[in-house]
Amino acid sequence: MPRYFFHLRSDVTWSPDPSGQLLPDMRAVVEEALKAVRLLLRAPLTDTPGRWRGWSIQVADESGRIVFALPFESVAALRSEPGDDTPGHRSTLKVVT
């Protein structure tokens, strides 16, 4: 099973994922990226409301090639569905391979 690394990036900051995750396919990669961004957007923050503006999650394969990128703003714009973090949930984002 391939390993994917979920890096966080803004215009001025880079936060690499040193360990990555083993995932079976691109659908699982997209679902994991959506889940991670949604959790970050929901986290209580003590600073400004626009804390994550300009951020994205960039997913790299084992060779370091970026295979998927997701701006946080696009996740916030997606229609939120009940139970979107439950196992087996299908997001409103479609994966085209």
Q: How do strand 21-22 and strand 56-60 relate by DSSP bridges? A: unpaired
pLDDT tens string 33-50: 999 998 888 776 645 566
pTM: 0.74
pLDDT tens string 37-91: 988 887 766 455 667 788 999 999 999 999 999 998 888 666 454 444 444 444 4
Confidence bin at 97 (pLDDT 50/70/90): very low
Domain boundaries in the chain? 3-77
Q: Report the candidate in 57, 62, 56, 54 with the shortest Cα–Cα distance to residue 20.
A: 62
* pLDDT value, residue 95: 45
